[in-house]
Amino acid sequence: MPRQTQLEQVANSIRRYARAHRRYERRHPEIFNPIEQERLRGELAEVVGKVAAGPPRALDLGVGSGNVTAQLLRLGVRVTAADVSPHFLSLVRRRFGTGVDTVRLNGIDLVGLPDATYDIVAAYSVLHHIPDYIGILDEIERVLRPGGLVYLDHEVNDEFWRKDGCVVELRRAVAKRKVEAPGPWNPERWRWQRFLIPSKYAMAIRLKFDPEYFFGSEGDIHTWEHDHVEWSKVEERLHGLGLDVETIRDYLHFSAEYPEDLWQEYRDRGCTDMRTLVARRPAH
Ligand SMILES: C[S@@+](CC[C@H](N)C(=O)[O-])C[C@H]1O[C@@H](n2cnc3c(N)ncnc32)[C@H](O)[C@@H]1O
């Protein structure tokens, strides 16, 4: 992809988050809920535990509002928070003060960040925002210390895209529950009630002027059926760079919108929709 196109995509993301960053945590019930936070905490604790000598130094690539950074700080890690969005970076500075260093990225590579420095590079829900999400792996390898770990998380796996898979079934089951919910106010069951919701009108007007708003409101790039993060390509490049993939874990993400018992039922059946991967740069 030409560099100019990549820069335009990054600029679009920055523009989108200039507005969306304030509502980011409210708009992501699939991240900011106790179950997902607990899972993330466990994964990060495991990664931190794999670092040979402490205290570890981490790069939080695409820090957002500081989801991963907050967890890493609690685990005693020194964090550099990096992002393309100046809005998120000022939010992170307000939130953590001098507790973290912040770095503004160009969104294409990690120029300005030193070679062989970080014990951990974490990218949670970020790869799909990066125009060349395979090329960035070369840069991650460059800034990793020998023996350091890259932690990639919260990107959908192949199961997510299957038309006849368990994820589609789960979505249907969630929708059915909403329709069946008791009580007089149920716009899922009585569609006419939707005309009484002011935000629906605001959304309809917004979509008229900005048709991409619904799905592209945060400048997502690789989140479409025809263009999504392909884990097989990620693995291939990591192998090519000489990194050893240590963990691949598929999981069913929990969203605060799901009835918990339904989510548990599908998770226990082995249904998954997301992946986390940890790979190590060899020590020598
Ligand atoms: C979905 S948010 C995830 C934020 C955070 N990691 C979290 O756990 O909530 C995506 C983040 O990636 C950042 N981002 C977008 N394009 C990027 C790029 N090309 N390189 C690095 N970060 C990027 C956004 O500004 C945003 O902070």
Residues 59 and 76 both lie in one domain: yes
Instruction: Report the separation in Å between the CA atom of 175 and the middle of ligand 1, taken as the mean of its atom positions.
Output: 29
Tell me which residue range forms the domain holding 125.
Answer: 3-161+217-280
Nearest atom in ligand 1 to 218's CA:
1
Residues 82 and 174 both lie in one domain: no
Residues 37 and 120 both lie in one domain: yes
- Both structure tokens of 136: 């960035």
Residues 62 and 195 both lie in one domain: no
Supply the CATH number for residue 122's domain. Answer: 3.40.50.150
Among 83, 92, 93, 124, residue to substitute to test ligand 1 (most atoms within 8 Å of Cβ): 83
The CB of 121 under 6 Å from ligand 1? The reply is: no
Residues 201 and 73 both lie in one domain: no
The CB of 68 under 6 Å from ligand 1? The reply is: yes
Instruction: Report the separation in Å between the CA atom of 125 and the middle of ligand 1, taken as the mean of its atom positions.
Output: 7
By three-state DSSP, how is residue 236 classified?
Answer: helix
d(CA 241, CA 137): 8
Task: Give the pLDDT confidence score for residue 219 in this predicted structure.
Answer: 82
For the chain, the domain total comes to 2
The CB of 129 under 6 Å from ligand 1? The reply is: yes
Q: Which amino acid is at 186?
A: N
55 upstream amide cis, omega within 30 of 0: yes
Contact at 8 Å (CB) between 151 and 49? no
Residues 139 and 172 both lie in one domain: no
Contact at 8 Å (CB) between 86 and 14? yes
Task: Give the pLDDT confidence score for residue 213 in this predicted structure.
Answer: 65
Instruction: Report the separation in Å between the CA atom of 206 and the middle of ligand 1, taken as the mean of its atom positions.
Output: 24
d(CA 221, CA 6): 10
CB count, 10 Å around CB of 62?
A: 24
Task: Give the pLDDT confidence score for residue 214 in this predicted structure.
Answer: 61
Residues 201 and 175 both lie in one domain: yes
DSSP code of residue 22:
G
Task: Give the pLDDT confidence score for residue 215 in this predicted structure.
Answer: 61
Residues 176 and 239 both lie in one domain: no
Pick the last residue of a domain from 182, 197, 215: 215
Residues 31 and 102 both lie in one domain: yes
Among 9, 84, 127, residue to substitute to test ligand 1 (most atoms within 8 Å of Cβ): 84
Residues 271 and 175 both lie in one domain: no
Residues 71 and 53 both lie in one domain: yes
Residues 62 and 116 both lie in one domain: yes
Per-residue pLDDT of the chain (284 residues; tens, 9 = 90+): 899 999 999 999 999 898 889 899 998 999 999 999 999 999 999 999 999 777 899 999 999 999 999 999 999 999 999 999 999 999 999 999 988 999 999 999 999 999 999 999 999 999 999 999 999 999 999 999 999 999 999 999 999 999 999 999 999 998 888 877 788 887 777 778 788 888 788 777 877 877 666 666 688 889 888 899 999 999 999 999 999 999 999 999 998 888 999 999 999 999 999 999 999 999 98
Which residue in this structure is represented by tokens 């059915």? 176
